[in-house]
Amino acid sequence: MAKSEKNELMDKLYSLCKRRGFIFQSSEIYGGITSCWDYGPLGVELKRHVKDLWWQENVTGREEVVGMDASILMHPKVWEASGHVENFHDPLIDCKKCKARFREDKALHYFKCEKCDFQFRVNGGFIEVKDEFRTYFKDDLYAQEPTFYQKSDCPKCGTAGSIFLEKIACPTCGSTELSPARQFNLMFKTHFGPSEDTASEVYLRPETAQGIFVNFDNVVNTTRLKLPFGIGQIGKAFRNEITTGNFIFRSREFEQMELEYFVKPEESQKWHEYWVEQRFQWYQKLGIKRENLRLRAHAKEELAHYARACTDVEYKFAFGWSELEGIADRQTFDLDQHIKASGKKMSYFETETNTHIVPAVVESSAGVDRSILTVLSDAYWEDTEHDRTVLKLNPKLAPIKVAILPLVNKDGMPEIASAIFSDVKKQMAAFYDQTGSIGRRYRRQDEAGTPFGVTVDSQTLEDGTVTLRDRDTLEQVRIPKDNIVKVLRDKLAL
């Protein structure tokens, strides 16, 4: 796909989300605030379903996992111990010519082969090649990390490790007169209490995980869990990202679903592999197409010094393969850091060996908003044959399960339909609509991802049956109106 087509798909998704009430720009009436998003009536339902399915799969559905909900504001020492104060930075570059400020990886990166004349440029994540070289980059014209291309094999002459970074330039004006990269901390600061001096500075948490680590002892002492065991949490986190964008993919306020799984240190590799597989399956259970998902193991150079391994689950978005979730074997780093900084013991008593040990942790850290963008992207379908746009959402995720529609607005049909609606609504999320032609009403529901439509027509008046329409196949069958809830429950597997 060309860059414009990719953006076009994101634009279409964006406008569908706004039109149907899934997602709105935050503070829109004041011109909006960059990279903050509000979930509307349908979006909030979709979000709840995603979180509920995660919680069911990873917390309540498992014997050895418990949940918790920590506060967003924490003691500032937490972030010193975790390494965020010192290390949670992005490298920023200033253009001396046009004064633009940008993240290092967003600079124009010019690459060249040492052996032949092959060259290409990476611009905002997209590889740009001259026409005569286009054949060498057939499929994937997207690059996430420009630096990955350094020392890679030349696609033209085949020389191993011959690609080098020739220069970087300003993405706004193209100038190569740039400042060296400087580190910028991504944590949001605020003040605790009435005084605004440095002593009162606290951070909005940049991740939920630390709330779990600092409560390790509290949870172990109150639950008496045996290793391996997990603690799960869903909550908001905040990062003052320099580069935001791609709709809800990267925003400054977002929600995480994190599971910290504590294991015996010698077993961490086994459990890391186990959770990579579990988490990869979970996205497929949401209904995401297998071919749009992949796993990417981090190279040694990418790993934090304490991590033994990290694997990302990636999704093929319109803007390229991007990370949905990371599953990391963090060893004993997090607990060790808090033990050192707090002076508290925080260990696990192993009865078999009669010793106190610090368990290793395998962390899976998923984004709620990224999961939602994935679900929406994967479900988006332009059915050209029937001239409609459909969100083929997994029925479990669909905000509305069934729409109840009178065929026409007369002959007692609205009365029957609204009676059905009040009945069904007690059992599942339903929607009643009598405005506009039946075709238009169906299309609105297709865009909302509603899997079923029930229509009251003239035959209903004669024999008490209604038509049941399937969103994806458009198949229509007649069923007795008294059976609607039962039939839908079966079809939805509720």
Give yes or no for a contact between 307 and 329, defined as CB atoms under 8 angstroms apart: yes
Candidates 17, 127, 143, 154: give the one binding Zn ion (CB under 5 A): 154
Nearer to Zn ion, 46 or 95 (CB): 95
CB of 455 to Zn ion, least distance (A): 59
The nearer residue to Zn ion, 172 or 292, going by C-beta atoms, is 172
Q: Using the rule CB under 5 A, which residue among 44, 70, 85, 157 binds Zn ion?
A: 157
3-state helix, strand, coil in the chain (%, to 5): 35, 30, 35
Q: Which of residues 171-200 bind Zn ion (CB under 5 A)?
A: 172-173, 175
Name which of 157 and 225 has its Cβ closer to Zn ion. 157
* φ/ψ of residue 226, rounded to 5: -110, 145
Stretch that binds Zn ion, among 6-14, 49-57, 154-162, 275-283 (CB under 5 A): 154-162
Question: Which CB sits closer to Zn ion, 167 or 236?
Answer: 167
Query: Between residue 114 and residue 153, which ones bind Zn ion under the rule CB under 5 A?
Result: 115-116, 118
In this structure, are residues 141 and 124 in contact, taking their beta carbons and an 8 Å threshold?
no
Q: Give least dist CB 93 to Zn ion, A.
A: 10
Q: Is the CB of residue 92 less than 8 Å from the CB of residue 104? A: yes
Looking at the Cβ atoms of 55 and 164, the one nearer to Zn ion is: 164
Q: Considering the complex, what minimum distance in angstroms separates the CB of residue 232 from Zn ion?
A: 45
Binding footprint of Zn ion, residue count (CB under 5 A): 15
For Zn ion, the binding residue among 113, 366, 373, 416 (CB under 5 A) is 113
Stretches 123-131, 163-171, 349-357, 371-379: which one binds Zn ion (CB under 5 A)?
163-171
Nearer to Zn ion (CB atom), residue 25 or residue 175: 175
Gap between the Cα atoms of 361 and 310, Å rounded: 12
- Using only C-alpha atoms, what is the Rg of the chain? 26
| CB 146 to Zn ion: min, Å | 17
3-state secondary structure of 430: strand
Instruction: Extract the runs of DSSP E, i.e. beta strands, from 95-162.
Output: 101-103, 108-113, 119-123, 126-129
Site string for Zn ion, 412-441 (x = CB under 5 A): ------------------------------
463 is written with which tokens? 């024999």
Interacting stretch for Zn ion, rule CB under 5 A, among 105-113, 194-202, 257-265, 286-294?
Answer: 105-113
Would you say 2 or 160 has its CB closer to Zn ion?
A: 160
Closest CA to 23 of 359, 391, 485: 391
Q: Pick the binder of Zn ion from 16, 78, 95, 168 (CB under 5 A).
A: 95
Candidate list 46, 170, 231, 402; residue touching Zn ion; CB under 5 A: 170
Side chain identity at residue 379, one-letter code? A
Kindly tell me which of 144 and 172 has the beta carbon lying closer to Zn ion: 172
Is 98 near Zn ion (CB under 5 A)? yes
Q: Quick check: helix, strand or coil at residue 494?
A: coil
Q: Which of 366, 370, 392 is nearest to 380 (CA)?
A: 392
Locate 58 and state its tokens.
């990873």
Give the one residue of 156, 279, 330, 469 binding Zn ion; rule: CB under 5 A. Answer: 156
Q: CB under 5 A: which stretch of 57-65, 75-83, 108-116, 308-316 binds Zn ion?
A: 108-116
What CA–CA distances, in Å, run from 423 to 194, 255, 435, 477, 484?
Answer: 53, 35, 20, 20, 10
**Closest distance to Zn ion from the beta carbon of 186 (Å):** 23
Interface pick for Zn ion out of 70, 74, 85, 100 (rule CB under 5 A): 100
Supply 431's token pair. Answer: 């929607």
- Burial of 129-153, coded b for 16+ CB within 10 Å and e otherwise, reads beeeeeeebeeebbbeebeebeeee
Question: Do 187 and 168 contact (CB within 8 A), yes or no?
Answer: no
DSSP 301: G
Distance CA 442, CA 185 (A): 49
CA-wise closest residue to 166 among 185, 146, 190: 146
Q: Is 108 in the site for Zn ion (CB under 5 A)?
A: no
**Which of residues 170 and 234 has its CB atom nearest to Zn ion in the complex?**
170
Among the listed ranges 13-21, 166-174, 244-252, 458-466, the one in contact with Zn ion (CB under 5 A) is 166-174
Closer to Zn ion by CB, 113 or 368: give it.
113
Q: Which residues pair with 195 in a beta bridge?
A: none
Residue type present at position 27: S
Q: Smaller CB distance to Zn ion: residue 184 or 274?
A: 184
Residues that bind Zn ion (CB under 5 A): 95, 97-98, 100, 113, 115-116, 118, 154, 156-157, 170, 172-173, 175
